[in-house]
Amino acid sequence: MDFGIRVGTVVERDDTLLLVRHEKPGREPYWVLPGGRLEPGETIPECAERELMEETGLAGRFAGVLYVSEFMAEGRHTVDVTARIEAEPDEEAELGSDPEVEEGSEPTLKELRWVEVEDLDELPLLPGWIKQRLVADATRGWPSGEVYLRSDEDA
């Protein structure tokens, strides 16, 4: 079974969230929070900051865990940790790379965009449950509280 921990990052700026679009062979393009797999020996804060830098060029500081969820399907178990990152307000994001893509292969990371919170419903954002939670929590100022949310089959 493929088991992994993915750390996604919530970066907010002027009521927008930073998202990245992926295109993988055999599936429709989709948007996610910048992030990726936790490496052995790496902490969640280290992973969040590294993945944000790799995919967007932004340096950021870990500000806490927002959500933890799981995805289980035949042959796959992924634990998703969503972390809040505070990035420098004057830095510009630039499309980075996904080091997990084999050299010579077509990159899966295709676009990044700052998206108004109220416009999240217009995008195919994964995992499926996260849109409503991001909108609610952005409106409430990112409150802390319940972290483990659920298993989700839309990841």
Residue 35: which region, alpha, beta or left (left: phi > 0; alpha: psi -120 to 50)?
A: left
Which DSSP string corresponds to 47-95? HHHHHHHHHH---EEEEEEEEEEEEEETTEEEEEEEEEEEE-TTPPP--
Give 2-19 pLDDT, tens digit per residue. 999 999 999 999 989 999
Is residue 138 situated within a structural domain? yes
Is residue 147 situated within a structural domain? no
Residue 102's pLDDT band (cuts 50, 70, 90): low
Say which residues have a Cβ less than 8 Å from residue 153's Cβ, sequence separation at least 6.
71, 72, 73
Cα end-to-end distance, the chain, whole Å: 16
Question: 21, 114 in Cβ contact below 8 A?
Answer: no
Residue 141, pLDDT score: 87
Question: 55, 31 in Cβ contact below 8 A?
Answer: no
Is residue 22 situated within a structural domain? yes
Is residue 99 situated within a structural domain? no
Is residue 100 situated within a structural domain? no
CB neighbours of residue 83 within 10 Å? 26
Give 127-151 pLDDT, tens digit per residue. 888 998 999 999 888 877 667 555 5
Mean pLDDT, rounded, of the chain: 88
| DSSP designation for 97 | -
Question: 66, 85 in Cβ contact below 8 A?
Answer: no
Say which residues have a Cβ less than 8 Å from residue 37's Cβ, sequence separation at least 6.
4, 5, 6, 7, 47, 100
Give the structural domain span for 56: 2-88+109-142
Domain of residue 50, CATH code? 3.90.79.10
Is residue 101 situated within a structural domain? no
Rounded CA-CA distance 11/13 in Å is 7
pTM above 0.75, yes or no: yes
Mean pLDDT across 92-101: 80
Number of structural domains the chain divides into: 1
Is residue 98 situated within a structural domain? no
Is residue 81 situated within a structural domain? yes
Closest CA to 3 of 97, 73, 108, 107: 73
